[in-house]
Amino acid sequence: VGRATVFWHFSDKASVFRESFTRMLAPFRDSLLRSDSAVDPAKRLEQQIESSKTFAEAHGNEITACVRWALESAELREIVVDTLLDLNHRFAGSLAETVSDLIPEDRDPKLIAQGLMLAFDATLLLGFFDQKSRSHDERMSSVQALVSMIQHDSRVSEARTAVSYTHLRAHE
């Protein structure tokens, strides 16, 4: 494809970049739109984290290049930052829906999902600077530990509900 053909469809480099970046992220964004409400919430939470991890690993070089361009170019920075923040917000919302199905009602699923997102995002961000696989694996293990804590909280809540229900039935 010649330069003239590209600029026939796009007015400038930023437009080409925006379209390329958007298309690269489209499969992950689309995966957030699919409702997996039929899947057990504990399993769904694992799947959400795993699909995000898999996408980040599969497109790590491209994402790294885009972030570097954003750091070097004010024109591209806004595109990258806005797009990544939007995607992050969507993913956090998807996680919050799942977490709300797992935790007791007196806890805020949005805050818990955001904490999980912070751990996951930090793992990805630090991966740009520290590419040792052992360090990355340890950081991903901490994300998995948070997922396990949320799942455990769900099982404890379910057990308490069952005990309370049994206790109420015994007093009828």
Share above pLDDT 90 across residues of the chain, in percent, rounded to a whole number: 28
The pLDDT tens digits for 46-79 are 999 998 888 888 888 888 888 888 888 888 888 8
Is the pLDDT at 163 greater than 60? The verdict is no
The pLDDT tens digits for 134-160 are 888 899 999 999 999 999 877 665 555
Share above pLDDT 70 across residues of the chain, in percent, rounded to a whole number: 84
pLDDT band at 30 (very low <50, low <70, confident <90, very high): confident
Q: Closest by alpha carbon to 150, among 101, 89, 80?
A: 101
Provide the pLDDT for residue 35.
Answer: 66
- 124: tokens are 């990805």
> What's the pTM value of the predicted model, to 2 decimals?
0.76
147 CB-near residues (< 8 Å, 6+ apart): 45, 46, 49, 116
Q: Give yes or no for a contact between 14 and 75, defined as CB atoms under 8 angstroms apart.
A: yes
Q: Closest by alpha carbon to 57, among 114, 122, 127, 116?
A: 127
Length of the chain: 172
Check the CA dihedral 131-45-86-114 and report its sign.
negative
Q: Give yes or no for a contact between 16 and 8, defined as CB atoms under 8 angstroms apart.
A: no
